[in-house]
Amino acid sequence: MKKTFLLTAAVTIAALAVLTNCKKQTTENNNDKFTYNVDKFYDLEVLRYRVEGFEQLSLQQKQLIYYLSEAALQGRDILYDQNCRYNLRIRRAVEAVYLHKTNNGEMTLASAQDEQDQLLEKYLKRVWFSNGIHHHYSEDKFLPEFTREWFEQALAEANYSLDKEVLDVMFDPALMQKRMAQADGIDLIASSAGNYYGEGITQAEAEAWYAAHKDNSPEPKWIGLNSQLVKVDGEIQERVYHVGGLYSAALEKVVESLKKALEFAETDEQKAVIEKLIEYNETGDLDTFNQYCIAWVKDLNSRVDFVNGFTETYADPLGITGTWEAMVNFKNIESTHRTELISQNAQWFEEHSTTDPKYKKEEVKGVSAKVITAAILGGDCYPATPIGINLPNANWIRKEYGSKSVSIDNLSHAYDEAAKGNGFAEEFIIDEETRQRAEQYGTLCNDLHTDLHECAGHGSGKLMPGVTKENLKEHGSTIEEARADLFGLYYLADPKLVELGLLPDKDAYKAGYYQQMMNGLMTQLVRIEPGKDIEEAHMRDRQLIANWVYQHAENKEVEIIERDGKHYLQINDYDGLRRLFGELLREIQRVTSEGDYAAAKELVETYAVKVNPTLHQEILERYKKLNLAPYKGFVNPVYTLVKDKEGRVTDVTIDYTEGYIEQHLRYSRDYSFLPDIN
């Protein structure tokens, strides 16, 4: 899963264009109590997502989701232990004190008399969010704000004992500083708190072991994906994650739930997927894992789909071992229809674009992306979560059998909804009319722009003979993203979209144009530290487009105006703006088709990299005053089996009322199977 995380607070109605995978659909307002915003502490905000369409699924599909959801929650402890071998002990100790002080979770400590009590609750909430004692994004260990003395006293009162060694890790800033270290010239394993390697093993030893065991066959096994390397009597040994091996107690439960899920599989292909995953969990055999991945890629007709297991390797400093994660989802038929419609019209889009006919493809194949609705998040997808999934990771399987790429619309939708009213639009959008249009059509425009970008933009155009993508070297990805973005922007304003029923009226696109320009020229700068250049390809692409258009707006199609010491984007001529997008698209297609490195470099260096320091400072100050949390995560809904008198399941209900603290206390009570030390 190449993770598309929402890393910053730039997720607001006015900054939607920073998302690459934002999808929306209609919301069923059948639950008045539903709130998107759940909790906020430190730099974190907890949101809630709706599982739109769950009620309309068949009873079989609902039960399938129920058991897959159980399997998704049962591995929770694994991630804590992978993140750091002290995590489970610390979480359990803090929870024990918390339960003691709150009469088993009956009350909260948010406004407790003793400030130390309040700080305990904040610390625990932070541990849950990060699945351990290190910040989920910065990787830095965070320290409790309550004192060690106070905590030791509280432990004694709760009748709970914790080793000095563990207390030291909790309170001493010098110990286990980074979950994953990345600097040059250090031993990455010794410097990382992650538990992918046992004590005393060096980076050189681990690398040598991997090199010696690498599978170089045409269909290679991913050696090390599901194991911890340890040193026993000077020898390196592999402790494999499987039933009977490392993390057995949790994996046994996962297997139990998968076996129940198997009874409700929708298709034979899906049955094969679940069977292979059970076998893999039981044996830890990596050939079986490959077979599972292939079966998963081939299963295209089931509505329900899921990920469950050791998947992404970002958290291992050597990039070998997978972190446990889970997500259950089902296809969103309505939104997927939208991407199919765009894909079917890819040829028309190609023929009518502003690019030179000699750079057009004679025959364009559109891509139809699948849009999904997340039903449960677990492991490394929870509480912070990706908004897109692209698996499997093994390149040979991708090449031979393909891959699945999906965007998760209900999570993106929750980000949008939660951002409404946070003050961002009021601060940065120029006037009420533009704000209202953004509120009404912003999400829709962003969805369509993403669809046009993914389903038609990237696939459009052709390279001249002898030219390859490598011609543009380090500027290749910025130019390619700009090309797809411009393709999307150009067509967002086209009457064809209204004709296809994708936009409600001919002016709706203006919301998308305003967002894109404001984001590219101004608001995306909130993600850049003062004095720094723009590095990331998507950010460069957005500034390239907005800045180029701004500099070429000879008839003042767009302006930046000043009002009461603040700067705002003003669009005077939307048609003119579209012409400018078309002009730049034509040039960028030429640069791509000809492999014109000099022109690509000139475009990127002139428009995409440098930041106006005065404007940047102003944007940062205005943004800071809004007091928005840069990192977001979710609580899950609660699924319950409804049974009749004979014990037969008649329905599965979904409930959205569980709070953040409640949910984690319940998970720690009902889904915690591993011992303290693994």
Catalog residues that contact Zn ion under the rule CB under 5 A.
Answer: 481, 484
CA distances for 499 relative to 545, 569, 576, angstroms: 27, 30, 22
Pairing of strands 558-563, 566-571: antiparallel
- Could you tell me how many helices (H) and strands (E) the chain has, helices first? 24, 14
Q: Which residues contact 229 (CB under 8 A, 6 or more apart)?
A: 196, 197, 198, 201, 206, 209, 236, 237, 238, 239
Shortest reach from residue 458's CB to Zn ion, in Å:
6
Q: For residues 447 and 481, which CB has a smaller minimum distance to Zn ion in the complex?
A: 481
Shortest reach from residue 481's CB to Zn ion, in Å:
5
Q: Which residues contact 491 (CB under 8 A, 6 or more apart)?
A: 349, 353, 452, 456, 497
Q: For residues 487 and 660, which CB has a smaller minimum distance to Zn ion in the complex?
A: 487
Say which DSSP state 421 is in: T
- The distance from CA 472 to its chain's CA centroid, rounded to whole angstroms, is 29
Shortest reach from residue 452's CB to Zn ion, in Å:
11
Q: For residues 64 and 484, which CB has a smaller minimum distance to Zn ion in the complex?
A: 484
Q: For residues 254 and 484, which CB has a smaller minimum distance to Zn ion in the complex?
A: 484
Q: Token pair of 467, please? A: 């030219």
**Nearest residue (beta carbon) to Zn ion:** 484
d(CA 155, CA 32): 41
Rounded to 5 degrees, φ, ψ at 97 are: -65, -45
Shortest reach from residue 360's CB to Zn ion, in Å:
19
d(CA 568, CA 560): 5
Q: For residues 121 and 481, which CB has a smaller minimum distance to Zn ion in the complex?
A: 481
Q: For residues 39 and 480, which CB has a smaller minimum distance to Zn ion in the complex?
A: 480
Q: Token pair of 329, please? A: 């989802």
Strand partners, 49: none
Shortest reach from residue 484's CB to Zn ion, in Å:
5
Q: For residues 484 and 577, which CB has a smaller minimum distance to Zn ion in the complex?
A: 484
Shortest reach from residue 587's CB to Zn ion, in Å:
18
Q: Token pair of 1, please? A: 């899963």
Shortest reach from residue 630's CB to Zn ion, in Å:
23
Q: Are 339 and 451 in contact (CB under 8 A)?
A: yes
Q: Which residues contact 390 (CB under 8 A, 6 or more apart)?
A: 1, 2, 403, 404, 405, 406
- Alpha carbon distance, N-terminus to C-terminus of the chain: 27
- Residue 5: closest CA among 481, 412, 609, 444: 412
Shortest reach from residue 457's CB to Zn ion, in Å:
7
Q: For residues 304 and 391, which CB has a smaller minimum distance to Zn ion in the complex?
A: 391
Rounded to 5 degrees, φ, ψ at 599 are: -70, -40
CA distances for 41 relative to 107, 542, 546, 633, angstroms: 18, 31, 34, 12
Q: For residues 391 and 486, which CB has a smaller minimum distance to Zn ion in the complex?
A: 486
Say which DSSP state 637 is in: P
Q: For residues 409 and 481, which CB has a smaller minimum distance to Zn ion in the complex?
A: 481
Shortest reach from residue 453's CB to Zn ion, in Å:
6
d(CA 452, CA 343): 8
Shortest reach from residue 543's CB to Zn ion, in Å:
16
Shortest reach from residue 597's CB to Zn ion, in Å:
20
Q: For residues 309 and 459, which CB has a smaller minimum distance to Zn ion in the complex?
A: 459
